[in-house]
Structure formats: C-alpha cells, structure tokens
Amino acid sequence: MEPFKPIDNMKLSFNHIKVWYTAGMGFFTDAYDLFIIGAILDVFNANHLPGFELTPLYTGLLASSAIFTAIFGQLIFGTLGDLIGRKTVYGVEASLLTAGAALSAISPNIIWLIIFRSIMGIGIGGDYPISATIMSEYANVKDRGKLVALVFANQGIGSVVAVAVGAISAFTLPPDLAWRVMAFIGAIPAATVIYLRRKVPETARYSALKGDKQGIQKSLEFISKSSENGFKDKNESGVEVVKDNVNNVANVKIVRPRITEFLSKYWLLLLGTAGTWFLVDIALYGTGIYSGPIVTSILGKPSSVGLEIVDAGIPFMVGFFGYFTAVALMDRLGRKPIQTLGFVMMALLYSVISLVLVTAGTKVTGFLIPATSAFALYVLSYFFIDFGPNTTTFVIPSEVYPTGYRTTGHGISAAAGKTGAAISTFYFGSLLSSIGIKGILELLAVLSVIGAVLTIIAIKEPKHRSLEEVSQDTVIVEQQAQNSE
C-alpha cells in the first residue's frame, strides 16, 4: 500500500530544494563550530587574553559545553516533534542557535562564553531530529536519501568556511577581535532561515497522525508548487481538478503505537542507529576538535597560529568531498553498504597509521613511511568518516521509525552520537597525554570494527522504499485498517 503515493512519486521540484536550504543551514553552523572552537582555543593558547586564560577545566568545557547541551536539545525537540508537531517547534531551535552563536562573539569573559555556547548547543541539538524528519517526510522516494544527506552535507560547507574564516581572522586581525569574528560568523546562516522555518507547513504524514485533513492538504499544496507533474489534472472541459489519488491522501490516518509496543518492536533498530552514531562521533569529534595537536604531532609545529589553523583544516577540506560523494551515491548504493564500508575503511586506515608510527612513550618520534604519506592516510580517514557513517547515521533514523516516533527515534540516536562526542571531546586531551596518538588510533580502529558489525546486525536498508513500508507504520484509509508491513 502506498498511502502517500503523490508525494513519494513526485519529481524533484524547486520546493524540495527550498526545504533542503531551510533545513540545512543549522548543520552549517554545527560543523562550523566543530572546527572553529579548536581555532579559538589555538588563539587563546597562543595569546593569553585577559579574561580568557585557559585551564584544563576551561579548555574541556569550552570544547564540550555546546556538545553536552546539544544532547538535551536533541532529546527535548525530538520528543516535542512527535507530541506537538514538527512545524510547532520548527524555527525555535534556529533562534536559539543564532542567539547563542551571536552572543558568544560578545562574551566579556570565558564563563559567559561557555554559557552562550551552551545555549547554541541546545539549538544545534534541536535541529537534528526536526530538520531531518521534515526533509524525509517531504521527499520523494527516489531522491529521499540524497535530499536528507544533502541537508547534512551543509556540514561540509560549514567546515570549509570555518577553515577559511579561522585562517583569515588569525592572519589579519588582532587576537581579541579574531576569535570574536570566528564565533559570530556561525550565527549568520542559521539566522537566514528562521522566518522560512516558521512558514513551512506541517508535513502530510504528521497531519495524518493527528487526523488533520486540512493540514494534509496544505502540505500537498506546498510541496506541489513548481513541480512539473503537480497534483492537478484537467477534466474534459479543461477545468483543473485535483487528482483522485491526492483526494485519497486526505483520508489517510496513521496510528501511533503505544510506547511499550514501540520499544518492543524497534529496540534492536534503536540500538543500531544510536550505537553506530555514538561510535562514529567518538572518532569524528575527538579528532576534529583536537585536529591541531594531532596534525602537529605528524607534521611538526608550524610557525604561526594561522598556519596551524590551515594545517588542522586540511582533513576537514578532504572530508568535504566525502559528504557530497555520499549525496551522489546514497540512493544508488544504499545507506547500509555505505555505512559499513565507511566503518571498515576507518578501521583499516587507523590501524595502518598506528602501525607506521614510531613512538617513545606517548611522543611521536618518527614514521616507517614519509611523514607526508602518514598525514595523507590520516586525512583520508576524514573522507570515509564523512562519506560513510557520519552522513548515514543522520539519514537512516529519519526513515526507519514510525511517524509517531520518528523525531523521537532520531533524537535518541543523535543524542547517543553527541554523548560519544562529549565523552571524546572531554577526555581526548588527557588521552593524548596518557596513551598518545598511537594508542588513540588503535582504540578508534577497534571502535570502527564494532560500528561495522553493529551496522550489519541491527540496521535495515530504507533505499527505494516508502517511509510507511520501511517503518512498518500502521495506516488506516477510508475507515478500513490496513497494515503496510
């Protein structure tokens, strides 16, 4: 059964692109912040600015405060998105994100900077389940993976812009102004979509969950604008009429299962989506925020903060191509193969790099291959992180859970990821001191193998299947109960 066939079979339209832009700008800021906070820490370490003197505690809190509060944002907004609607909360998270980033730039001291970054983190977290689900529920089946991945690929753009802003600011501005410019730029993209988010209608699927026929019609009219096939035909007299299958959509109702039923039916899937996201974010955020020290341990200490930011940004620029390779192949190869391949290649690359490192205690003293070759292998790991599980762990939860728990399932999975990110960010610095880069790479290789195994066991493939089919939603049409399983 295909209750939402008019949406599922639509050709790609301008409004799909509009939803992509509206949904994607928050992820620009998310990735921008992942790199830029490392650059800001470099500025603070090099210049000892009054009011922003770093201690190990402040360093850990600055690097991880937005990540910790993002966990709450993901859980809170994920729950609200299913209880009161995607549209009801859409735009609130972008407002928090924008305010937090902008206020960070005018922080009078390090305490206020931590507080404002915490506010930004709540907005970043809330953006995950709501934006992913809105894009997924508005997308057609053929392009759904591509469109949801494209929302997340704004992280790639954010990373590249962060490298450029960080380097230019460090090279051209006084330190006290440079870090403030770095912090403020992240607020701009999210600010441009607050109004647009408030204007996006509720999705047809959530309206069907609430039995809101008018809401279903508004959603269909919104997404059909600028579409070649649209939702209207002309009758024999040349008068436009709504297609019959569109009228049928208004009679669709989705049944929300009880929480106990949801947990008993989807627990393994939830373990898969949450567990794999937890594992990949340990690698992504630990190596991301501490990219500078890692790259320095391979290439040596550069002559300036600006050059250190550029060197640390090279892996992110390679990762940029990983995001868009995933976009191109998501609906061809499928989510599960891409995620498995990504984890396997991460494990392989981390293992090889650790094997070629020569260490004395925790200090890197040399390599069995040229240092530039070792660095190239490390940089390549970013391509496979972003091509593989960093993108697919975002896409899959927006498709595999039933409508009544879709933002909740995505929020729980994303919160698990950010928990891994928070743990990694908070302890990565001390691990560098205690076990060194070699030990960290060996640990990440083991975690990547676990991620590949968990993907194979617990994740199902949503490619080219309707949301109702893959999520096993219970759907009622014209008063007759049917199950789409």
**What pLDDT is stored for residue 149 in this prediction?**
96
Place of tokens 């060194």: 436
**What pLDDT is stored for residue 477 in this prediction?**
79
Distance CA 317, CA 163 (A): 8
**What pLDDT is stored for residue 235 in this prediction?**
45
Q: What is the DSSP string of 306-338?
A: HHHHHHHHHHHHHHHHHHHHHHHHHHHH-HHHH
Helix (H, G, I), strand (E, B) or coil at 103: helix
Residues in a beta bridge with 475 = 254, 482
**What pLDDT is stored for residue 478 in this prediction?**
63
**What pLDDT is stored for residue 139 in this prediction?**
94
Consecutive 10-residue averages of pLDDT for the chain (485 residues): 82 88 88 84 89 87 88 96 95 94 95 95 94 95 95 90 90 94 92 91 93 89 64 48 56 89 96 97 83 76 79 86 96 97 97 89 84 89 95 97 97 96 82 85 95 97 95 77 46
**What pLDDT is stored for residue 247 in this prediction?**
57
**What pLDDT is stored for residue 177 in this prediction?**
95
**What pLDDT is stored for residue 484 in this prediction?**
47
Specify the amino acid at residue 156. G
Whether 406 and 398 have beta carbons less than 8 Å apart is answered as yes
Distance CA 113, CA 297 (A): 29
**What pLDDT is stored for residue 234 in this prediction?**
46
**Residue 392: partners with Cβ closer than 8 Å, 6 or more residues away:** 326, 330, 335, 336, 338, 339, 342
Residues in a beta bridge with 360 = 363
Show the 3-state SS of 190-249.
Answer: HHCCHHHHHHCCCCHHHHHHCCCHHHHHHHHHHHHCCCCCCCEEECCCCCEEECHHHHHH
pLDDT in tens, 149-163: 999 999 889 888 988
pLDDT in tens, 261-313: 999 999 999 999 999 999 999 998 888 767 777 787 777 777 777 887 888 88
Distance CA 14, CA 386 (A): 26
**What pLDDT is stored for residue 240 in this prediction?**
45
**What pLDDT is stored for residue 232 in this prediction?**
52
Helix (H) or strand (E) holding 469: helix 467-471
**What pLDDT is stored for residue 250 in this prediction?**
67
User: CA dihedral in degrees (121, 126, 131, 133; nearest 10)?
Assistant: 140
**What pLDDT is stored for residue 233 in this prediction?**
47
Distance CA 119, CA 347 (A): 35
Show the 3-state SS of 381-429.
Answer: HHHHHHHCHHHHHHHCHHHHCCHHHHHHHHHHHHHHHHHHHHHHHHHHH
